[in-house]
Structure 1
Amino acid sequence: MNTPTATSPVITQEEALDQWLYKALTGDHQIAIWRTPKTNSAEIILDQSGKTKRVNLELDALPQGFIVHPFADQEDGKAYFLEASEYVKFEIGQSITQEDGQSYERIGLSPSTIKRQIRQLIRKCQPKKSSDDFTSTSKERFIETVQKCIEAITEGHLSKVVPARIQKIHLNEDFDVAKTFLSLCKAYPDAFINFFHIPNVGTWLGATPEILIKTEGNYFQTMALAGTQKAEGEDPVKNAAWKQKEIEEQAMVSRYIVNNFKKIRLREYEENGPRTVKAGNLLHLRSDFRVDMEAANFPQLGSTMLKLLHPTSAVCGTPREASMKFIYDHEQFDRCFFAGFIGPVNIEGQTAIYVNLRTAQFINEEVLLYAGAGVTADSIPEKEWEETTLKCDIIGKFIQ
């Protein structure tokens, strides 16, 4: 980062984000902004092609960009892809100058005018959705669904299923995308903070704790994240006590990953965990898996595992096909990108794809919060409702 000079225009990172958002929204461009876990850098991709691109999941063949895939596979198996017409990166908390490799777009408007126009444009975001997808899921409806899940598990049709619900909230008059993004970065240092906008497709903001696949150099990584409880007390991670329901739920996800390794005859991998991790106001159980792709002679492991893993049992259930059918039969809304996957591809030698959890969708003057709960034979419907409420609050409290 250059030292500002007397002639260098200097702005804050919030103003820089506003200028990129303004350029994207007024130009009808696609944009993705993110902060990877345990870093302090905001990264931005702007796609000025004017084309909504959908690509095959061959990650190594893709240019620098950002991938977005819905929960449900499309018939052709493709994902949305924002190709980097421009890519910038800057440190959060530091002033930005024009000499910093064009770290921002200078626009001849006052900061307040830019913010006002961004607000107006965000409030007009309108993807193609059915009217059913604008309705909050009632508590009675969700609890009824959970009870049906337990019945299906008890009857032996399923081992686990992950029903989801929607909570609709009104978008505040003074909602500020850039300020909210930076607040999320500060509040959730271990999450993948993200905002993306694809005109006529979707506008989303989130803070997900779960990586689906990551490749960097010769190494592949994934994780099994499941089991949920509220983080309480001065040292919630140290004092966490897990019940058999949560332990088994997380073990199912770990077994799911290992079984997919077996499908491709991959035997050499490292597994660490499970351990308790904190994600916002919640605790989860997490196991990490790591593979040396060079030693395994499997350079395309990232693309292969991405296709095998999604959707994981953490967002769908076990067995997968039966769980998917149950979800389609009982959920009265389209999950769209919730529980799908998102993330940067081939940026600075790294690809990192995350499960799109703890996320919100902007539709006109409303915001849809999405959350799911892993249901097993030991689930208590009222507790599953409470869990989804806590998950919705992770993003919802920053919007309201």
Structure 2
Amino acid sequence: MNTEVSSIHTKTETIQQMLQLGLKSEGSFAFWRKPNSSLLEMVLDESSTPQKVELNIETLEPGFVVHPFADQEDKKAYFIKANKYLNFHLDNPIEIDELPEWAKIQLQGEEKLNAKEIRDLLLGQTQSNSNQFSETSEDKDHFIQLVKDGIQAIQDGLVEKVVPARTKTIKIPEEFNLGCTLLSLMNSYPNAFINFFHIPNVGTWIGASPESLIETKGDYFYTMSLAGTQPAFGDNPLKTAAWTQKEIEEQALVSRYIVSCFKKIRLREYEEHGPKTVIAGDLLHLKSDFRINMQSTGFPDLGSIMLNLLHPTSAVCGMPRKESHDFLQKYEGFDRSFFAGFLGPVNIQGETSIYVNLRTASLFSDQAILYSGAGVTEDSDPQKEWEETELKCKIIGKFIQNPQS
């Protein structure tokens, strides 16, 4: 069989080749596409031993960070160092000659794997991943009771808001095509951070997050508050959306928390825009944007400072942070792992973009665990909160179970 590198004519084939490069290396890798962008990027660290780093964003080498929901004892994040990096624009004609030299050299000695071979290679490498399955976290009655307990805790004055989560396990079908799944996510969710990462013996995850945690670009720092959820209906859902007082207050709580973080470090000069209705796939949310000039305000390391102050945000944990986190640790009944943690590229081409790990699934063996949560306030309806988590699970689940070309 001819093993020479040939031109790549489809986006899916290019993504398949990127997956092949990563999986064949037996190291850690990640690739992603930022919101409202056509640039697909990849970092690869061929070391077989996962690396962890302290979160001093400004001094980190280029790479990709992954941090779980709960703090580790060492307070560190997993780090995929950009020993090798490539990117290409999805909307341009794609040729193998455009890949960097290291990728061309590696591919020249290998036969191009098809979708089934990629699937088998992927699932073979995820068998050793930690299985986060929990019968408790899959049970509807448990989640309904969890919401009721959350409402009671709010009425008792223990918390203002709490965000319980659950899981849903699905089978990865025989015809699963990871390249098609990722491309379909990119096409369907242009406003989301589409991501895939694989860290041997740690985790393999796929996601389409709608929520930026922090971003630094040049002199500017950015963050957002995102909360409130409803299905997107009709030809123009942004204009027909109607928000309840419960949802408006839920989003306002997140914005107030961000502002309280600014006050805590005595940062007084910031821009706030919103809230406004935004669309993320099949769902609508309320969003406010914040922007700060780090140089003029005297906070050149604001990225690291705010990352520490914001995580876990009230949108994925609750308010006050410590009390809501304690509630979840006591009653939720499972390990969230990387769900509602954060991830993203650091110091890649002069930018850092960290996102909350939402609308996500972990892959292991021939199964995928879907994760979702719902913001609970005093006005919450437990059945409706369950239905909201079902909608969120479908965002990733439908693409895993129904591969598209």
TM tier, shorter chain?
A: over 0.9
> How far apart are residue 16 of structure 1 and its match?
2.3
Partner of residue 314, structure 1:
315
Change (3 A) 1:128 1:181: closer
Partner of residue 264, structure 1:
265
What code does the residue aligned with 1:121 have? L
Partner of residue 375, structure 1:
376
Structure 1 contact 159–318 (Cα < 8 Å) conserved: yes
Tell me, what secondary structure is at the counterpart of 1:190?
A: coil
Structure 2 contact 42–85 (Cα < 8 Å) conserved: yes
> How far apart are residue 49 of structure 1 and its match?
2.6
When structure 1 is superposed on structure 2, of 21-30 and 382-391 the one drifting more is: 21-30
Change (3 A) 1:328 1:135: closer
Partner Cα distance (1:47, 1:102) in 2: 15
Tell me, what secondary structure is at the counterpart of 1:143?
A: helix
Partner Cα distance (1:17, 1:354) in 2: 22
Partner of residue 94, structure 1:
92
Partner Cα distance (1:28, 1:215) in 2: 31
Change (3 A) 1:134 1:83: farther
Question: Is 2:294 the partner of 1:296?
Answer: no
Structure 2 unmatched ranges of 5 or more: none
Structure 2 contact 269–297 (Cα < 8 Å) conserved: yes
Structure 2 contact 343–354 (Cα < 8 Å) conserved: yes
> How far apart are residue 76 of structure 1 and its match?
1.6
The 5-angstrom pairing of residues 12-91 of structure 1 reads 12-91=10-89
State the TM-score, normalized to the length of structure 2.
0.93
The 5-angstrom pairing of residues 163-312 of structure 1 reads 163-312=164-313
Partner of residue 153, structure 1:
154
TM-superposition CA deviations, 1:54-107 (whole Å, max 9, x none): 001101111110000000011121000000111111011433224324285425
Partner Cα distance (1:51, 1:58) in 2: 21
Of Structure 1 and Structure 2, which has the larger fraction of its residues in helix?
A: 2
Change (3 A) 1:208 1:130: closer
Question: Is 2:115 the partner of 1:115?
Answer: yes
Partner of residue 3, structure 1:
none
Tell me, what secondary structure is at the counterpart of 2:295?
A: coil
When structure 1 is superposed on structure 2, of 173-182 and 92-101 the one drifting more is: 92-101
Structure 2 contact 30–64 (Cα < 8 Å) conserved: yes
What code does the residue aligned with 1:244 have? Q
Structure 1 contact 19–114 (Cα < 8 Å) conserved: no
User: What is the aligned length?
Assistant: 393
Partner of residue 332, structure 1:
333
Tell me, what secondary structure is at the counterpart of 2:65?
A: strand
Structure 1 contact 345–351 (Cα < 8 Å) conserved: yes
TM-superposition CA deviations, 1:193-233 (whole Å, max 9, x none): 00000000000000000000000000000000001111111
TM-superposition CA deviations, 1:249-271 (whole Å, max 9, x none): 00100010000001100000000
Partner Cα distance (1:155, 1:217) in 2: 45
Tell me, what secondary structure is at the counterpart of 2:368?
A: strand
Partner Cα distance (1:346, 1:177) in 2: 27
What code does the residue aligned with 2:391 have? L
Structure 1 contact 35–192 (Cα < 8 Å) conserved: yes
Structure 1 unmatched ranges of 5 or more: 1-6
> How far apart are residue 145 of structure 1 and its match?
0.7
Partner Cα distance (1:288, 1:158) in 2: 25
Partner Cα distance (2:67, 2:8) in 1: 37
Structure 1 contact 169–366 (Cα < 8 Å) conserved: yes
Tell me, what secondary structure is at the counterpart of 1:238?
A: helix
What code does the residue aligned with 1:67 have? V
> How far apart are residue 157 of structure 1 and its match?
0.6
Structure 2 contact 137–332 (Cα < 8 Å) conserved: no
Structure 1 contact 171–365 (Cα < 8 Å) conserved: yes
Partner Cα distance (1:78, 1:131) in 2: 20
Partner Cα distance (2:219, 2:355) in 1: 19
